[in-house]
Every structure is written in structure tokens, then in C-alpha cells.
Structure 1
Amino acid sequence: MFEQQPQTLREKVKSLATESINQANPSGWFEILYAEANGDSNQVPWAKNTPHPYLQDWLERYSPEGKGKSALVIGCGLGDDAEALAKQGFAVTAFDISPTAISWCQQRFPKSSVNYLVADLFALDQTWQHHFDLVYECRNIQALPLNVRSQVINTVASLVAEEGTLLIITRFRDDKNEPEGPPWALSEGELAQFRKSGLQEIRRDTFVEGTESIKHLRLQYRKVSL
């Protein structure tokens, strides 16, 4: 079988996402993608088999102390970011909606200290609210359509413990026009919802990628004391 070309893979992602949205199940396509990858990470467009470079840079630059602290990785994919946080000393819980992805993580890291779980961002355990010292969200919100964006942002914000940290890596769009997706880059107006949820932005780093000069943000928030 010929290796699937990137453009073909992008078209597949768009087709799967569109079909899921039409079925009112905007995150349902992730399991299909992971299952059809048949263990080939090249068929998962965001899989790097190494920690995301912006996360790795953040860990090296700021050296957060993880000992005695909890961390949650949202939409953990194949687990590399979760493992990086565990190496930093955090007690890490990592979830994905895809059972195939979670099984893949457990196969890749059989001796891991990370608690890998199948969970749905739209129906999380209520005990997770205001629970985690660090919540890490990398490019999951941007993979979901705008009509669920507010709900997802509120959910993510609610997971951060008092005085805790939220770290976000996302595409960013400057204009207010609805983008074509997936992914649907976040706008400044959408990011403002985190501040309204009691999160204070304390650091913003901007990265520009590729020939199309796609803008990405790495945002660090702190949960303000009540």
C-alpha cells in the first residue's frame, strides 16, 4: 500500500469531522481515525512520537516543579506529552475519547506512571472540577467546531484548581470571520472566555509555522483565588 500523502490525510480528517458534525457528534471522528490508522502513527496527523516542541520548550525554559502536584492532559493522543509531564514529577492523568488511542498509549508506555483513561470532554467526571494543579490542552479545542466552543472552553477552565495553571497550545486567528476547518483556530474573543472564567493570562508566546505563516500561541494562565 502506498503511504498516504499529507494532502490526502487532511482531506480524510475534514471528511470525518464534517460527517461527525452532521451527526451532532463533533468528537466522534477521533476514534475512527485512530482505529483506521492500524498502529501507524503516520496516519494520525498530529502524532509526533515525541513531546510537542512547544511543550518541551516550556518545560525546559520554566522548569515547573511537578513533585506533589497533579496534572491533567486533555485529548492525550499517543501519550508523549503526558509522559513528558510525568518525567517532570507530576502525577499525571491523561484522557482521550478514543479507546484505540488509550490502548496505544498503554502499549507504547507499559511501565508508565500516567493514569491513561477513556473519557469524553463533553461528559467528564464531576470530581475533576477545580481539581488539577496543571491542566494541559494542546490543539483539542481547535479541532472542535465553533458551535461547541464556548461549552468546551468553560469545561477546560473548570478543571483547574485554585492557584493552578492552564497551559494551552493552539492555532490563532486574528480576524473575527468564521474559519474553515478543521482545525478552527481560536480568536481573541474566544480566549477572553478563559479570563471570564477566573483565569489570568500570565504568559503568551507566539510561533509562526510553515509557508502559510500559520500563527500558533502558547498561553499560560493562572487560576485566580476565589
Structure 2
Amino acid sequence: MTEDPDVVSRRIARESLDRDDPTGWFENLYAAAADGDAVVPWDRGTAHQLLTDWINEAEPDGTGKTALVVGAGTGWDAELVVDRGYDTTGFDISPSAIETAHRNHPDSKAHYLVADLFAPPADWHRAFDLVVEIYTVQALPIALQPQAIKQVTELVAPGGTLLVIAAARADDVPDEQVQGPPWPLTRAAIQSFTGPDLHLIQLDQSPSPADPSVLRWRAEYLRD
């Protein structure tokens, strides 16, 4: 395949958005990738570096704890989390992504399943000691991001940690100027993950190694 993966993903997303199906493009992209007709731009074949850095710095012990990876894709981030001892679930709205995760990690201790962030299982409500959200909210149109952010926060258990990794956008860049996907998150969007009992305890911004002009958030939150 010679076409730019970002161009392919945007075209697939636009086709889905034109059908008023803002989340359907994930399955279309992963299915095309499985057939060799596309490349998932964010599928790195390894865990995200900022997640790896956080794991190395925080050294979390997941023994006896649960973790959830939002939009787990082909499973690399969930594999890193499960290696820390967490009883780890990775979910994605795309069946093709989950099928690929099972193929990539046939002996995994993680649980991979198809689920919708906007309609998660009822028993996931504030159920996880660690929730990891990497690039899922930013892959949704800006109008859907507040609802997605709320859904993510409601997965974090009392005393639990939420880790969010996303591309950064300046607050003074108007929504209409952002031609996604992705639709990077403003500082205000990052702060909107907080609530009366969910507190932002660390926020870092760093350049992408692939393109220093692209900045990324790494935000850590703690629920009372």
C-alpha cells in the first residue's frame, strides 16, 4: 500500500461521518488493515511510549486490582498493563480490532472483548482501579468528546487512577479549523475529565518523537 495511512484513515472516517455513523469508521479501518488495504496510524506494534514511561515511573503494582484499556485496538497497551499484575480488560468497538488482538496475543492473560464506550456494560460503572485512555476520545468528532470524556471517567473506581494520553491542541484554535481525525484535545478538554471526586494530579506536555511540532498530553487523575 502506497497511500499515506493518515489520508486513508481520514477518508474512511469521512465516509462514516457522511453516513452519520461517527464510530463506525473504526471497524472499517481495522477491517481494511486486516485485509492489507490500510494501516492503522496509531497501531505501533508496541505499547505507547508515554504509557511505558508512566509504568516505569509510577511502578504500579496491579496485584489484586483491575484495569481497563479503552479502545484497546490490537492489544499492545493492554499487554503492558497486564504484565504489571492487573486483571486487565481491553475493549474496542471494532470486532476486527479485537480479533487482531487475539491473534497478536494468543496466550495473553488480558481479556479482550467488543464493547461500546457510549454503552458500556453496567457492571463497569466505577469498577476499575486503573483506566487507560489513549487516543480514543481524540478519534471522535469534537461534538462527541464531552460525552466520551464523561463515559471514561465513570469507569474509574473509588481510589482508582485514570491515565489519559492524547494529542494536544491550543485552546485558541477554533473547532472548525480542526480537520480530523484526530481531533486533538485542548487543555480545557483535559481538565474536563476532572470532577468533584476525580482530581488531576499530574499533567505533562511533550513533543512527539516522530514530529516535534506535534505535542501530546499525559494526564493522571485520582478518584477519592
TM-score, length basis structure 1: 0.92
Q: 2:9, 2:40 within 8 Å by CA — same for their partners in 1?
A: no
Structure 1 residues 167 and 211: alpha-carbon distance in aligned structure 2, compared to 1, 3 A threshold = closer
Q: What is the CA deviation profile of residues 30-49 of structure 1, one whole-angstrom value per residue up to 9, with x for unaligned ones?
A: 11111111365971111111
Q: Which runs of 4+ in 1 moved over 4 A?
A: 39-42
Structure 1 residues 92 and 69: alpha-carbon distance in aligned structure 2, compared to 1, 3 A threshold = same
Structure 1 residues 211 and 108: alpha-carbon distance in aligned structure 2, compared to 1, 3 A threshold = closer
Q: How many residues align?
A: 220
- The equivalences for 1:1-226 within 5 A come to 3-5=1-3, 8-38=4-34, 40=36, 43-176=39-172, 177-178=174-175, 179-196=178-195, 198-209=197-208, 210-211=210-211, 213-224=213-224
Shift of 1:192: 2.5
Q: 1:154, 1:197 within 8 Å by CA — same for their partners in 2?
A: no
Shift of 1:123: 1.2
- In structure 2, give the amino acid aligned to 1:205: D
Counterpart-to-counterpart distance in 1, 2:35 and 2:104: 11
Counterpart-to-counterpart distance in 2, 1:199 and 1:172: 21
Counterpart-to-counterpart distance in 1, 2:35 and 2:57: 33
Shift of 1:175: 2.4
- In structure 2, give the amino acid aligned to 1:181: G
Counterpart-to-counterpart distance in 2, 1:58 and 1:39: 34
Shift of 1:181: 1.1
Residue segments in structure 2 that go unaligned for 5+ positions in a row: none
Q: 1:157, 1:197 within 8 Å by CA — same for their partners in 2?
A: no
- In structure 2, give the amino acid aligned to 1:51: A
Structure 1 residues 197 and 31: alpha-carbon distance in aligned structure 2, compared to 1, 3 A threshold = farther
Q: Percent identity?
A: 40
Structure 1 residues 198 and 20: alpha-carbon distance in aligned structure 2, compared to 1, 3 A threshold = farther
- In structure 2, give the amino acid aligned to 1:203: Q
TM-score, length basis structure 2: 0.93
Shift of 1:197: 5.8
Shift of 1:203: 1.1
Counterpart-to-counterpart distance in 1, 2:69 and 2:211: 30
Shift of 1:198: 3.1
Q: What is the CA deviation profile of residues 110-137 of structure 1, one whole-angstrom value per residue up to 9, with x for unaligned ones?
A: 1111110001111111110110000000
Q: 1:20, 1:28 within 8 Å by CA — same for their partners in 2?
A: yes
